[in-house]
Chain A
Amino acid sequence: MPRTIKISPVSRIEGHAHITLHLDDAGKVQDAQFHLTQFRGFEKFCEGRPFPEMPALTARTCGICPVSHLVASSKACDNLLSVTIPVTAGKLRRVMNLAQIVQSHALSYFHMSSADLLLGMDSDPKQRNVFGLLKVDPQMARDGIRLRQIGQTIIEMLGGKKIHPGWMVPGGVNEPLTDEKRQAMLSMLPEGLEIAERTLKSFKGLIGKFPDEIKYFGNFPTMYLSLIGPKGTLEHYDGHLRIKDAKGGIVEDMIPLDEYARVIGEAVEPFSYMKFPYYLPAGYPDGIYRVGPLARLNNCDSCGTPIADGELDEFRSQQKGEPVSSSFHFHYARLIEIIYALEKIELLLNAPDILATRIRALARGNCNEGIGVAEAPRGTLIHHYKIDDDGLMTWANLIIATGHNNLAMNRGVKQVAEHFVDGTKLQEGMLNRVEAVIRCYDPCLSCASHAMGQMPLRIQLINAGGAVLDELVRD
């Protein structure tokens, strides 16, 4: 008799989510669905608002990566103004975006995932959190806190606020950088780099312990989508879109950002509020692709900074030119990106024009449609707006990073479940692995506060008739 195992809610990720595992008569996983029942209708309540409010308004979609929304939204608004923003403003926005990558990746790795890695997937769930981490490896826990703090301090110095800074505006930024702040930021970077390198080294030492996870954690062929810089370098702020296939061949390159709709389609499934983006020419669901740190590292030719490039070479050394396909290695990619971001911030802050005071292009709405694309920590973020002649919003479409990965997350859950879930019994460790695969994608579904500690977990074993056969509750 087919049975359904429900894991609800998924702990240490955000939003109201649960997983259903559909079992066949033999107790083997037949299908898996990762449901998102959260619906914010953001696009709807943007309508009628003046477009310059959009950066602040959309930054409210998320408490973890507001900066990414600020970037994508400000860029879409630059489009509406039909301006090229001053060079210094672009550099300053880049610094903030990279600082966001540092702090968000640090949160994801240290606070949410390192407990699984250090303590083991089958360890006591009461200990398997940041507090447990503090006991077994206080240095690692301290490193995590400090690295995140460095990213946040840079954001705060630029924007005046840690969360939801209103400094990034249509046409540029609204306050230049002072030399005092520049020096203060520069002085934190060596410590950050030291932590990042130390952590990466320790991660590489741990990899050997997780052969199964690497093999089954969302390890399947997909395409990859990301921004790409001039000369094929790693890019988070501007450039073009690139799509690579599962073998590492370039499917499409140099796609102008305003042509995203030509390559990305959005499918809808009845079991989730989240849309399912796919590569349009390949159709649904064959056009499955992944975004985020792994996709960016798979897509780029090089990072463009020395230490990160060395690590990238090592990361790819076993691949024989093929992309790294295990979602487990999102963690690995994240750590390399932290190094890249810190190196890049240093380069930007040392640019001779970084203290220039021409930082904003003033204009009014000069066209009716604008598109802004940026790389958020979790992947490509697209804001697409339409306005009327008076500058009021008439339509908005936001494609968020977690959305792009939706198809891959579902497939990843299925793969893990097939391997680790045996329909005859419910074990803590196996279910934790199902969740852990979702956490690899670092889905950002609401706010950051649930990052600490373990969330209650409820698992139900339901038969075809809907009756609960078994239940496991974790507080």
Chain B
Amino acid sequence: MPRYPTPANAPPKVRVVTLRINGQDVSAREDETILSVAVDHGIRIPSLCYLEGLTAWGACRLCVVEVAGIPKLLPACSTVVTEGMVVETNSDKLKRYRRMILELLFAERNHVCSVCVSNGHCELQNLAAECGMDHVRVPYRNAPYEVDSSHDFFRVDHNRCVLCTRCVRVCDEIEGAHTWDVMGRGVECQVITDLHTPWGESESCTSCGKCVQVCPTGALVKKGTAAGEMEKLGDFLPYLTQMRGKQ
């Protein structure tokens, strides 16, 4: 019998589990994901749609890992650790898959890095370099996508969008405006503002610019930027989430 009884609203006790990642024994809280444990232990797992401070989405599949005893690949961003788990993050098979995912992303829309405002500061481009994707083996779709430049300060270029939904999540979860949504299926899929009205006419958008800052590519950018000029503030989100949590 504890001396002081636990109050009814106290957080439940979390257990600590031990697991193995790439041959390295690590311990973690049982409610953590493989990705966050790996990050805590300095193990790099490539990811694109995941962003610390937002709920995990599991859309891009770049963070897939192999877990012993489970026949399919699991997304590290949304798989919770278990006791005794044996994880492999960088096998040849995973490298092949990641490369193919990136090739498909590049082939799906129109990425012309050399003239892109995000050239040199782009997460997609960096991932391609990291994963050794030096050319695309599937045919490019070359389908033209629209550019919406109606907003006073920002622009969306769907040619560069990878449908990671970071914009949708940050706008909903952090700003609370829920301006962004996803419309359509398959290759028709597209992020939209206010039920598909031009961004400049959106009544919900507060022009805070968070979506622009979290967008990993040159899809959401500040207006007026020329090639290579769009640098994003990478680290503001965890800080913002933390500070808001303290309120």
Contact = CB atoms under 8 A, between A and B. Distances in A.
A83 to B, nearest CB: 12
B186 to A, nearest CB: 23
Interface stretch (B67-75, B83-91, B93-101, B222-230): B222-230
B226 A48 contact: no
B115 interface: yes
Interface string B203-242: 0000000000000000000011111110000000000000
A50 B223 contact: yes
Chain B interface residue bracket vs A: 20 to 34
B115 A56 contact: yes
B166 interface: no
Contacts of B200: 390
B228 to A, nearest CB: 4
Interface stretch (A163-171, A229-237, A397-405, A431-439): A163-171
A146 to B, nearest CB: 29
Interface in A40-73: 48-50, 52-53, 55-57, 60
B219 to A, nearest CB: 12
Interface in B103-158: 114-115, 117, 119, 144, 146-150, 155, 157
Nearest to B153: A364
A382 B170 CA distance: 44
B101 to A, nearest CB: 27
A170 B227 CA distance: 11
A166 B224 contact: no
The interface residues of chain B, by DSSP majority, are classed as: loop
Given A57-B115, A60-B115, A49 B226 contact: no
Nearest to A52: B226
Interface residues of A, number: 20
Given A49-B147, A174-B229, A364 B223 contact: yes
A121 B236 CA distance: 67
Contacts of B225: 52
Nearest to A168: B226
A17 interface: no
Contacts of B117: 52-53
A50 B227 contact: no
Contact of A166 (B144, B149, B155, B226): B226
A391 B223 CA distance: 9
A234 B228 CA distance: 33
Contacts of A57: 115, 227
A214 interface: no
B227 A56 contact: yes
B226 A55 contact: yes
A169 B223 contact: no
A139 B223 CA distance: 51
A169 B227 CA distance: 8
Contacts of B227: 53, 55-57, 166
A56 B223 contact: no
Contact of A169 (B115, B149, B150, B226): B226
A48 B147 contact: yes
B149 A392 contact: yes
Interface in A380-411: 390-392
Nearest to B144: A48
A52 to B, nearest CB: 5
Contact of B226 (A56, A60, A364, A392): A56
B224 A170 contact: yes
Contact of B224 (A49, A56, A364): A364
Question: Which of B115, B146, B147, B223 has the most chain A CB atoms closer than 10 A to its own CB?
Answer: B115
9 contacts: A50-B223, A52-B225, A53-B115, A53-B227, A56-B115, A56-B228, A166-B228, A170-B224, A390-B148
Given A56-B228, A166-B227, 10 more contacts: A48-B144, A48-B146, A50-B155, A52-B226, A53-B115, A164-B114, A170-B224, A170-B226, A390-B148, A390-B200
